[in-house]
Amino acid sequence: MPAAPKSFLPAFAGFIVFAFSYTFIQASKEGAAMDNARTRWQNQHASARNVLSGGVTMLDAVEEKISKS
């Protein structure tokens, strides 16, 4: 007598729930790490621009140019 077929639907549904939950949590952590890295880079870039310009901002340069005209 052949064995009765088993449904793998409950196991598959459990796997899908676990996989999506795990992926969501990991993606959130990775997104936060990328945001932090971008913020650090932007701060370093702004600091470097400030050093290279001698502390003169673009707004200061424009106002100085207008006042000389």
Number of domains in the chain: 1
pLDDT attached to residue 4: 72
User: What does the pLDDT look like over 24-44, one tens digit per residue?
Assistant: 999 999 999 999 999 999 999
Asked if pLDDT for residue 17 goes beyond 90, the answer is: yes
Q: How far is 26 from 13, CA to CA, in rounded Å?
A: 20
Q: Is residue 18 part of a domain?
A: no
Q: Is residue 57 part of a domain?
A: yes
Q: How far is 61 from 53, CA to CA, in rounded Å?
A: 10
Domain region containing 53:
39-69
Q: In this predicted model, which residue has the larger pLDDT, 65 or 21? A: 21
pTM passes above 0.85: no
